[in-house]
Amino acid sequence: MATLLYNIGQLLTMDQYDGQVRGKDMNNLPVYENYAVLIEDGKISKVGPSSQLENEPADEKVDCEGRLVTPGIVEPHTHLVFGGSREHEMALKQQGVPYLDILKQGGGILSTVRATRETSEQDLYKKAMFHLDRMASYGITTVEAKSGYGMDRETELKQLRVANQVGKDHPLEVVSTFLGAHAITEDYKDNPEGLLDEMAAMFPQIKEEGLAEFVDIFTEKGVFTVEQSRRYLNKAKECGFDVKLHADEIEPLGGTQLAVELGARSGDHLAVATDEGIEQLANSDTIGVLLPGTIFYLGKGDFARARDMIEAGATVAISTDFNPGSSVTENIQLIMSLAALKMRMTPEEIWYAVTTNAAHAINRGDVAGKIKEGRQADIVIWDAPNYKYIPYHYGVNHVNTVFKAGKKLYTRGGLHV
Ligand code: NIG
Ligand code: FE
């Protein structure tokens, strides 16, 4: 099966650099005009000027009519699998009750833990498939999914099994992360170490059954300290996991520095990272996964200092942080707008942040995030004339067509008029 995409107005291949793209390099974005891409048997087989490829034999020829074409978007940080929802907390938020106070009162993450424990594996599966469909409709072709709403052995395993099963059954690729250390449950209120021990005791089984590739922890005031996080993640590394941290989201505890010290694949949030944290990040390979949707949704003003990070030489990715509490959206395009408006990232930086760098943040740099001969054809055709248009026209879905591994996965529907 061969498909030719021709008459592409602007093509972003994101293929200027071999590895993760850092600092100033994030502004070096080649744009190919009047290009074409040939897909054969699910893979990209040729990329070149439309005039040269237009006559290639193909089963299907798609006239892109001058549209923008990019790699499929990589989403490196989601809490995909969970039970219930938390719209009842909206009123508390409006009254000004802080996120960490809602959690302290047994709400927030803990309310989703209760709902997830009560939800059957089958229902969690259906719900996760629904959210994956929606992500695909926004142009996402690869997704990271964290557990962390079980926080007991049985429910964490249930969530991890669901993440793996939807990854098998849904066209999108799902990369699984174990976030057993996500909050402190009632049983462990006075003994957070006990909870970490219980979660760490699961590492060998999770590794053996291939249920997760990463281990993550919420390093935050009132949740896990830097010291506890260090010990826990070192154990994870000993068991062969790559690690990630929810770091410096609300209080600047030094999670960014810890991420660098541990050689974490990514430090996520980093909204209140200090000068020292930013400097260390810039001198490391740890990727800063910034989540401006969360800061917006929590009603806070501390957007991560993306400009300082990039100017210091760090590698930056962005993500929705899709979850039922602090960022309830699958719309990565909205996050691209927030990155532009609230973190002053340039359109070029934003495109690296949702493709190549996001792929490297989940160890998929070699397979996702680029349009390159020989790679799986994860490609989006956008209803936009150029790449700057997507962050500019905010809050709506600009996707025209999504290809996953060369197959048409989503096409914009028409109005019934
Ligand atoms: O990334 N901060 C911790 N975890 C999630 C929120 C999860 C929730 O509120 O349910 C986050 O923001
Ligand atoms: Fe998160």
Inter-residue contact 34 to 81 (CB < 8 Å) = no
pLDDT digits (tens, 9 = 90+) for 190-235: 999 999 999 999 999 999 999 999 999 999 999 999 999 999 999 9
Which of 361, 384, 403 terminates a domain? The answer is 361
Helices and strands: H and E segment counts in the chain? 17, 16
Tell how strand 60-63 and strand 173-181 pair up.
unpaired
Which residues line ligand 1 at a C-beta cut-off of 6 Å?
Answer: 79, 108-109, 112, 218, 246, 249, 294, 321, 323-326
Domain count, the chain: 2
30 lies in the same domain as 138: no
Residue 81 gets which letter from DSSP? -
Report whether 249 belongs to an annotated binding site: yes
Residue 413, pLDDT score: 85
Mean pLDDT of the chain: 97
39 lies in the same domain as 156: no
**How many angstroms does the Cα of residue 205 sit away from the middle of ligand 1?**
25
* Domain-embedded: residue 417: no
Atom of ligand 1 nearest to the CA of 82: 10
Inter-residue contact 7 to 50 (CB < 8 Å) = yes
Mean pLDDT of 351-363: 99
* Domain-embedded: residue 353: yes
Ligand 1, atom 6, lies closest to the CA of 326
**How many angstroms does the Cα of residue 321 sit away from the middle of ligand 2?**
5
Residue 183, pLDDT score: 96
Range of the structural domain that residue 194 is part of: 74-361
Residue 414, pLDDT score: 74
pLDDT digits (tens, 9 = 90+) for 57-114: 999 999 999 999 999 999 999 999 999 999 999 999 999 999 999 999 999 999 999 9
417 pLDDT more than 80: no
190 lies in the same domain as 298: yes
* Domain-embedded: residue 223: yes
Q: Which of 282, 286, 380, 278 is nearest to 336 (CA)?
A: 380
22 lies in the same domain as 131: no
* Domain-embedded: residue 416: no
Report whether 149 belongs to an annotated binding site: yes
Mean pLDDT of 132-138: 98
Mean pLDDT of 318-324: 98
108 lies in the same domain as 217: yes
Domain CATH number, residue 67:
2.30.40.10
Q: Which residues contact 366 (CB under 8 A, 6 or more apart)?
A: none
**Residue 361's Cα: distance from chain center in Å?**
9
Question: Token pair for residue 158?
Answer: 């249930």
* CA triple 48-72-341, angle to 5 deg: 110
Residue 386's beta-bridge partner residues?
A: none
- Confidence tier at 360 by pLDDT (50, 70, 90): very high
pLDDT digits (tens, 9 = 90+) for 99-131: 999 999 999 999 999 999 999 999 999 999 999
> Per residue in 351-370, is it b (16+ CB within 10 Å) or e — as a string?
bbbbbbbbbbbbbbbeebbb
Q: How many CA atoms lie within 13 A of 46 on its CB side?
A: 19
Inter-residue contact 104 to 47 (CB < 8 Å) = no
Residue corresponding to tokens 């009842």 = 88
* pTM score: 0.98
**How many angstroms does the Cα of residue 284 sit away from the middle of ligand 1?**
25
